[in-house]
Structures are given as C-alpha cells and as structure tokens.
C-alpha cells in the first residue's frame, strides 16, 4: 500500500515534468505541423544553462528562494536562445520544403545539440550533479515520502499549462496562433506575420521547457546530455496520446505516461527495466481505438 | 488607391493559367470579372492579393510593385473572400472578424504580453469595430456562434465582415453568391452596393452574368487565361466575342 502510494506520487511528478516538455511539442505541431524532435534538447540545454549559472556564476551559499529564480531565468534564457536560433537557422529556410525535410532536420538538430553540449560543456561526458537548492527537505506521511521539489512540480506544471491555455484562447497573439494553425494562407491575407507567430510559438515552448528543466534538475538531482532525448520521447508520446495540437491533451497524456511508467516499473512484468515498454503499449492501444488521441480532433483533409 | 495587374502571366508547369493579363482597378467602383470555368479568374485574384508571384508581369499598388506577400497586400488595403469559404471554423464569428482586424492593430510586444492599459483600449476598440462589421453585413453583432455552425449564407457574410475589418481600399469577392437562392443573392447585391458607398472598390467574380451586368461599373471577361473584352456592362453584354465565348458558335450563326 505504501509502495503504491509512493509510486503514484512518483508518477505524478514525472507526469508534471514531462507535461511541460509536451506542451512545446504540441504547440509547434499545432502551428506548423512539425514534430520538433529537437525540443527535448531545448529542455536539456536549459538544464545546463541553470547548471552553468549555479556552478560558475552564483556564490556557493545562496538560500533557495534567491537561487531558484536565478536558475529559472538562466534556464529560460538559454532554452529560448537555442529555440530561436533553431527556428531561424534550421526550420525557417525549409518552410516551403516537403514536410519530411524539417523532420529530418529536427533529428539532426537534436543530435547536434546533444553532442555540442557533451563535447564542450566541462564534465558533461558523465551525469552532472544539479545544484541542491531546495532538494533536501521533504514531506513525510507514514512511510510515504514526498519531496518538496515534487510538490512544486505537480503544483506549477498544470498552472503553467492553464496559463498557456488562457493565453492562446484570450490574447491577440494566441488568436493569431490559432488562425495560423487553422489556415496559414488565409491568416497571412489578414496581415498576420507568419514568421513572427511561429517564432513566438517556439519561444513559448522554450520558456516552459526551461522552467521544466530547473524543476527536473532540483527534483532528480542530476542532469546529463541525454535527458532531453529520453524525456523528449516521453513528452512527444504524451502529446500524441493526449491529441497532438491540444494543450490540455498534452498535460493529460503526460500524467498518464508518468503514471503508467511509474506503476508498470513497480508491478508489471519485467519491472523497471521494462517500464518504457508499457508506455508505448499504452500509446499503441490508444492509437488503435482513438487515432486522434484523447482530446485531439480528427484531421480533415481540405479540398 | 489603384490596383493594377500589368501584363501578368502565370504558368503552373506547362499550364498557362494567365496569359499577359492587364487589369486596372480604379477607385470607388464595382468591377466584375466573368469568364467560363478555368478561365483564370481565381488565379488572377491570387496574384492581386499576393498569394502567387506572377511568372511574368507585375502587380502595382499605388504605383509600387507588390511583393508576393499576402500580409503586405493586406497592409496596403487589399482584402478578399474565397470561392470555397475559408473561415477559421474553430473560432467564433467575432474572433474571425478580429483576426481580420489584425493588420490594423499596432502590436507593442510588451503591451501585448502583459495586457497593459494601451492594449486593453485597442482591444476594446477592435471588438467594437468587429461588432459593427458583423452588424453591417447583417449578422448577430454578439458573434458568439462558432463559425462552423453558421448557415452557408451567413458564412459568406462573415467572410465579407472579416475582410472589411481590415479597412480595405479594394475588396475582392470570389463568387459571393455561389450556392445562394434568389433572395439571398438580392441581399448580397444590396450589401455590395453599401460597401461601394463606403468608398471601397469591389471586384467581383461571378458566374451569374445577370448579377454582374446589373451591378458593375466595368466588366472584364477572361477566357482561357486571356483578357477577352473589357468595358461598361452594356458594351460587354452585346459584344459578339463574349456571346461566342459563352454560347459558342454554330455553323448557322456564321
């Protein structure tokens, strides 16, 4: 019973963190129908940006309430910079190309970023300890242990998703984003600057990925160059599961995946070594019976 | 504000859709563009609104060449509707018109991000204007209805309201009465007159020649990508080349 409760908590935390990455996948797909496989690396470089700030720029002894905001700003700054460069240099020149070209490019950008960080970041050939701000205190209830970092992640992530949803539904930029998502040509005829809207979408996704990276780092206590790839795959799966293009769907999918991975790792055949398998079994099952995902809309082919 | 297509040709691979077409859209007039199916009418619209870059020739807006950039055309006052309605179907009617207003809204990034007082004021103005355009075309000014649940005729009206919200100098209507019954068609004719009375030039593509000849100040006839005849309605209607293009010739009539 205690184990079950503990695994549910672990699943919720993982889901909350994956959700923040999944939002970036789902938004970019919604706007330009591109699975940006390098989005996991936007998350990863954010974590390294925060690590760099903490290891080389901040004084050693800083209280968590001072350090945490600085780490968030650093991570977001690095994530946004990388996402903007990625969009400008890799994807924008391919805007009118066949959709396979940007997809392959995204895979290339993903590998490039992983390798650049691995080769040039000091010590990144092995996992690096993340600054232990905020990490030692925990909440205990009987034998159940909940780290405060986990509570923070589970509280903040849905709030950020709700804020994003509100922004897309209510703001002027959000209106432009929805217009571009529905019909880019008509949106341009209304005077909407396509490049600006697309760039803004990448920026929003990167902000969430950067914040997610800090939450991930302080919770799990270490980061490495493959964290973006691994969690990116989960996040992409979450976005598809929830219905790609849907903000609420991405969050829902992420919590499902966190839960399945956590519970299957404990109880299912094969244990933790096979927890990946069950995530993708879930994906396959859902796509068989509901190809558009939980909250997705079926694509209608325009004549 | 004058819009000119100057010796515009447009080829898609081997298919020549427009062949050396010249068209001047004067100020404050209703211009009709007719021609059989496949004559290149919509292609000409696409060139004039910056969706296509002509293979040769150019489009001039107030004497300046228009880039193949629809957003640029919109900023300079060219708006349009589509033959197959292209609304943002997931949005409400009001939101559709607000998107149409986009080009006239100054976008301060900080103000837009944090929704300051300047933003709220300009947003309120945009909403007010959007409601006025909904009322102008005869739709419910509340505009809460999702665009996809409006009736076909109302969707056509909504497309016109969306185009008007961008303060166009030229409004291009691609078959605005397609699929409409007699009374709906009459209402659209009245609406087009009211648009002209606002000082907006209207360019209309139509198959209904009766509609065109009774409404337009000038009529252009496009046949197989070439401008066959241009002139006032009476002259075009009785032109033997037009009659031939529409009815064909027989041995008897020769």
Domain enclosing residue A77, as ranges? 2-289
The distance of B251 to chain A (nearest Cα, Å) reads 40
Nearest to A182 among B79, B89, B123 (CB): B89
Handedness of CA B27, B163, B210, B16 (dihedral sign): positive
Cα gap A296→A287, rounded to integer Å: 11
Taking the Cβ of residue B3 and every Cβ of chain A, the question of whether any pair is shorter than 8 Å is answered with: no
Among chain A residues, the shortest Cα distance to B127 is held by A172
Taking the Cβ of residue A190 and every Cβ of chain B, the question of whether any pair is shorter than 8 Å is answered with: yes
Q: What is the CATH number of the domain that holds A166?
A: 1.10.3470
Establish if B82 belongs to a structural domain: no
Taking the Cβ of residue B121 and every Cβ of chain A, the question of whether any pair is shorter than 8 Å is answered with: no
Structural contact between residues A192 and A179, judged by C-beta atoms closer than 8 angstroms: yes
* % chain B with pLDDT above 70: 93
Cα gap A14→A124, rounded to integer Å: 23
pLDDT of residue A63: 82
Establish if B25 belongs to a structural domain: yes
Establish if B17 belongs to a structural domain: yes
Sequence-distant contacts of B160-163: CB under 8 A, at least 24 apart: B160/B81, B160/B191, B160/B195, B161/B93, B161/B96, B161/B97, B161/B100, B161/B130, B161/B133, B161/B134, B161/B136, B161/B137, B162/A190, B162/B87, B162/B96, B162/B97, B162/B99, B162/B100, B162/B133, B163/B79, B163/B80, B163/B81, B163/B100
pLDDT of residue A302: 41
Mean pLDDT score, A219-224 = 94
The ipTM estimated for the assembled molecules is 0.85
Give the angle subtended at the CA of B4 by the CAs of B32 and B190, to the nearest 5°: 30
pLDDT of residue B110: 63
Mean pLDDT score, A32-60 = 94
Mean pLDDT score, A46-59 = 93
Taking the Cβ of residue B90 and every Cβ of chain A, the question of whether any pair is shorter than 8 Å is answered with: yes
Q: pLDDT for B58-95, tens place per residue?
A: 999 888 888 888 888 898 899 999 999 999 998 999 99
B99 and B157 in one domain? yes
Nearest to A189 among B80, B105, B112 (CB): B80
* % chain B with pLDDT above 90: 65
Nearest to B102 among A171, A182, A190 (CB): A190
Mean pLDDT score, A231-235 = 96
Establish if A234 belongs to a structural domain: yes
Whether A189 sits inside 8 A of B73 (CB atoms) is: yes
Q: pLDDT for A256-302, tens place per residue?
A: 999 999 999 999 888 888 888 999 999 999 989 998 999 987 654 44
Establish if B182 belongs to a structural domain: yes
Structural contact between residues A264 and A274, judged by C-beta atoms closer than 8 angstroms: yes
For the record, the structure tokens of B8 come out as 């515009």
Mean pLDDT of chain A: 92
Nearest to A189 among B70, B98, B123 (CB): B70
Q: Which of A180, A190, A196, A303 to probe by mutation at the B interface, max B CB count within 10 Å?
A: A190
Nearest to B112 among A171, A188, A193 (CB): A171
Q: What is the dihedral of CA B137, B140, B142, B146, to 10 degrees?
A: -90
The count of structural domains within chain A is 1
Cα gap A3→A263, rounded to integer Å: 10
The distance of A193 to chain B (nearest Cα, Å) reads 7
Establish if A302 belongs to a structural domain: no
Q: Which of B70, B111, B148 to probe by mutation at the A interface, max A CB count within 10 Å?
A: B70
Among chain B residues, the shortest Cα distance to A179 is held by B88
Interface of A with B in 201-260 (CB under 8 A): none
For the record, the structure tokens of B129 come out as 């204007």
What would the DSSP string read from start to end of A16-37? HHHHHHHHHHHHHHHHH----T
Closest CA to B41 of B5, B65, B85: B5
Q: Which of A171, A172, A303 to probe by mutation at the B interface, max B CB count within 10 Å?
A: A172
Domain enclosing residue B120, as ranges? 88-167
Q: Please identify, among B152, B167, B182, the residue that sits at the C-terminal boundary of a domain.
A: B167
A-chain residues within 8 Å CB-CB of B166?
A: 190-191
| Residue A220 vs residues A73, A217, A237, A271, B120: alpha-carbon distances, Å | 19, 6, 21, 20, 42
Taking the Cβ of residue A169 and every Cβ of chain B, the question of whether any pair is shorter than 8 Å is answered with: no
Q: Please identify, among B167, B198, B224, the residue that sits at the C-terminal boundary of a domain.
A: B167
Helix (H, G, I), strand (E, B) or coil at A138: strand
Q: Number of A to B CB contacts under 8 A, please give it.
A: 73
Which H helix or E strand runs over A129?
Answer: strand A128-129
Query: Distance from CA of residue A186 to its chain's centroid?
Result: 30
Taking the Cβ of residue A96 and every Cβ of chain B, the question of whether any pair is shorter than 8 Å is answered with: no
Q: pLDDT for B33-61, tens place per residue?
A: 998 888 999 999 999 998 999 999 999 98
Whether A191 sits inside 8 A of B95 (CB atoms) is: no
Give A59 or B88, the one with higher predicted confidence: B88
Structural contact between residues B104 and B167, judged by C-beta atoms closer than 8 angstroms: yes
Residues 6+ apart with CB under 8 A from B253: none
Cα gap B249→B228, rounded to integer Å: 16
B226 and B208 in one domain? yes
Closest CA to B153 of B85, B94, B216: B85
Whether A190 sits inside 8 A of B105 (CB atoms) is: no
Cα gap A94→A88, rounded to integer Å: 10
Residues 6+ apart with CB under 8 A from B41: B33, B34, B35, B174, B205, B222
Give A25 or B254, the one with higher predicted confidence: A25
Q: How confident is the model at residue B186 (pLDDT cuts 50, 70, 90)?
A: very high
Q: pLDDT for B105-158, tens place per residue?
A: 876 666 666 667 878 888 899 999 999 999 999 999 999 999 999 999 999 999
B117 and B72 in one domain? no
B2 and B123 in one domain? no
Q: How confident is the model at residue A191 (pLDDT cuts 50, 70, 90)?
A: confident
* DSSP conformation class of A291: T
Closest CA to A149 of A165, A133, A168: A133
Edge-to-edge strand ranges of the sheet holding B30-34: B78-80, B170-174, B201-205, B30-34, B218-223, B226-231
For the record, the structure tokens of A134 come out as 């905020």
Establish if B83 belongs to a structural domain: no
Q: Which of B50, B99, B118, B163 to probe by mutation at the A interface, max A CB count within 10 Å?
A: B99
Structural contact between residues B165 and B130, judged by C-beta atoms closer than 8 angstroms: yes
Helix (H, G, I), strand (E, B) or coil at A145: strand
The count of structural domains within chain B is 2
Nearest to A191 among B71, B84, B86 (CB): B71
Q: Which of A178, A182, A189, A195 to probe by mutation at the B interface, max B CB count within 10 Å?
A: A189
B104 and B157 in one domain? yes
B191 and B122 in one domain? no
B-chain residues within 8 Å CB-CB of A189?
A: 49-51, 70-71, 73-74, 79-80
Q: pLDDT for A134-189, tens place per residue?
A: 656 788 888 888 888 999 999 999 999 999 999 999 888 899 999 999 999 999 99
Give A217 or B1, the one with higher predicted confidence: A217
Establish if A296 belongs to a structural domain: no
pLDDT at residue B254 is higher than 50:
no
What would the DSSP string read from start to end of chain B? --EEEEEEEEEETTEEEEEEEEEEE-SS-EEEEE-STTSSHHHHHHHHTTSS--SEEEEEETTEEPPS-HHHHHHTTEEE--SS----TTSBHHHHHHHHHGGGS---HHHHHHT-HHHHHHHHHHHHHHHHHHHHTTS-TT--SBGGGS-HHHHHHHHHHHHHTT--SEEEEESTTTT--HHHHHHHHHHHHHHHHTT-EEEEE-S-HHHHHHH-SEEEEEETTEEEEEE-HHHHHH-HHHHHHHH---TTT-
| Residue A119 vs residues A11, A108, A210: alpha-carbon distances, Å | 32, 16, 21
B177 and B154 in one domain? no
Establish if A143 belongs to a structural domain: yes
pLDDT of residue B166: 94
Structural contact between residues B101 and B166, judged by C-beta atoms closer than 8 angstroms: yes
* DSSP conformation class of A271: G
B183 and B59 in one domain? yes
B70 and B28 in one domain? yes
Q: Please identify, among B167, B190, B218, the residue that sits at the C-terminal boundary of a domain.
A: B167
B67 and B18 in one domain? yes
Whether B166 sits inside 8 A of A303 (CB atoms) is: no
Handedness of CA A282, A285, A287, A289 (dihedral sign): negative
Whether A188 sits inside 8 A of B104 (CB atoms) is: no
The distance of A52 to chain B (nearest Cα, Å) reads 29
Taking the Cβ of residue B110 and every Cβ of chain A, the question of whether any pair is shorter than 8 Å is answered with: no
B233 and B122 in one domain? no
B241 and B120 in one domain? no
pLDDT of residue A215: 96
């Amino acid at each position: 019973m205690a184990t079950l409760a503990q695994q549910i908590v672990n699943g919720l935390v993982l889901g909350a963190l994956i959700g923040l990455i999944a939002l970036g996948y789902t938004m970019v797909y919604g706007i330009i129908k591109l699975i940006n496989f390098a989005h996991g690396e936007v998350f990863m470089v954010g974590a390294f940006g925060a690590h760099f700030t903490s290891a080389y720029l901040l004084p050693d002894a800083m209280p968590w309430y001072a350090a945490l905001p600085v780490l968030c700003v650093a991570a977001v700054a690095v994530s946004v910079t990388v996402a903007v460069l990625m969009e400008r240099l890799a994807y924008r020149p391919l805007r009118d190309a066949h959709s396979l070209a940007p997809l392959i490019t995204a895979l290339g950008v993903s590998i490039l970023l992983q390798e650049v960080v691995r080769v040039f970041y000091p010590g990144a050939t092995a996992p690096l300890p993340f600054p232990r701000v905020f990490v030692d205190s925990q909440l205990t209830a009987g034998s159940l242990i909940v780290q405060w970092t986990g509570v923070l992640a589970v509280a903040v992530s849905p709030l950020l998703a709700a804020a994003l949803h509100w922004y897309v539904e209510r703001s002027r930029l959000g209106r432009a984003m929805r217009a571009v998502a529905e019909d880019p040509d008509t949106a341009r005829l209304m005077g909407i600057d396509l490049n600006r809207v697309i760039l803004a979408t990448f920026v929003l996704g990167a902000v969430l990925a950067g914040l997610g990276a800090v939450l991930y780092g302080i919770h799990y206590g270490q980061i490495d160059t493959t964290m973006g790839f691994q969690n990116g795959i989960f996040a992409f799966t979450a976005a598809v599961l929830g219905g790609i293009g849907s903000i609420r769907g991405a969050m829902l999918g992420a919590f499902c995946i966190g839960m399945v991975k956590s519970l299957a790792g404990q109880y299912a055949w094969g244990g933790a070594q096979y927890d990946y398998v069950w995530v993708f079994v879930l994906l396959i099952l859902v796509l068989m019976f509901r190809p558009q995902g939980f909250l997705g809309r079926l694509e209608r082919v325009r004549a | 504000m004058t819009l000119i297509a100057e010796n515009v040709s447009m080829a898609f691979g081997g298919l020549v859709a427009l062949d050396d077409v010249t068209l001047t859209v004067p100020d404050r007039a209703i211009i009709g563009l007719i021609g059989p199916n496949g004559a290149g009418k919509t292609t000409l619209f696409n060139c004039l609104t910056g969706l296509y870059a002509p293979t040769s020739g150019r489009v001039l807006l107030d004497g300046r060449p228009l880039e193949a950039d629809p957003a640029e055309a919109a900023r300079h006052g060219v708006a349009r509707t589509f033959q197959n309605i292209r609304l943002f179907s997931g949005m409400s009617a009001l939101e559709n018109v607000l998107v149409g207003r986009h080009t006239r809204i100054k976008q301060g990034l900080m103000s837009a991000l944090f929704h300051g007082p300047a933003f709220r004021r300009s947003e309120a103005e945009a909403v007010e204007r959007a409601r006025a355009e909904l009322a102008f075309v005869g739709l419910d000014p509340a505009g809460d209805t999702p665009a996809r649940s409006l009736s076909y005729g109302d969707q056509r009206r909504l497309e016109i309201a969306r185009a008007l919200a961008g303060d166009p100098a030229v409004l291009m209507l691609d078959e605005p009465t397609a699929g409409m019954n007699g009374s709906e068609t009459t209402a659209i004719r009245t609406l087009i007159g009211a648009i002209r009375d606002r000082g907006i030039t209207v360019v209309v593509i139509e198959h209904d020649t009766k509609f065109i000849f009774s409404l337009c100040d000038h009529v252009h006839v496009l046949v197989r990508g070439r401008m066959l005849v241009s002139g006032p309605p009476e002259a075009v209607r009785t032109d033997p080349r037009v009659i031939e293009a529409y009815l064909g010739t027989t041995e008897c009539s020769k």
